[in-house]
Amino acid sequence: MVQVVENLTWLSGRLVGRQPHPQRAGWDVVIVHVEVARPVPDKADLLSRHEGEDLPVGFRHELLADARPGAHLTFRARFTPAGALAEAYPDEGDLVVRPIQPPSSPPAH
């Protein structure tokens, strides 16, 4: 069995796609276009190398509610032998989901 060191990385980016996780009931695989990645103090950083890439990340379905492609996500995730997983029970403020902003209407004349 592969042993992975304790690790955690802050990731921020756009939700590109989302589907049910094939092996984890109640989880989704979310494709995140990673715009910013930074280490978490006192933790190994194994995911920053994906900055600028589309990264599949496992999320508990209920954490993202109705988030759709285009939403902006900021969260902490760890690398596991099964891939990247977002924290299952993030602390207050450790998961931010900003929905897509609808385009503003031009002013009426």
| Residue-level pLDDT, tens digit, the chain, 109 residues | 556 689 999 999 999 999 999 999 999 999 999 999 999 999 999 999 999 999 999 999 999 988 999 999 999 999 999 899 999 999 999 999 999 876 665 666 6
d(CA 26, CA 48): 26
* pLDDT computed for residue 65 by the predictor: 87
Under 8 Å between Cβ of 86 and 53: no
Buried b (16+ CB within 10 A) or exposed e, 71-103: bbbbbbbbbeeeebbbbeeeeeeebebeeeeee
d(CA 106, CA 109): 9
| Amino acid letter for position 57 | V
Domain boundaries 9-94, CATH class: mainly beta
3-state class percentages of the chain: helix first, strand second, coil last, to nearest 5: 5, 45, 50
* pLDDT computed for residue 59 by the predictor: 97
**Which residue(s) pair with 17 in the sheet?**
31
pTM of the model: 0.88
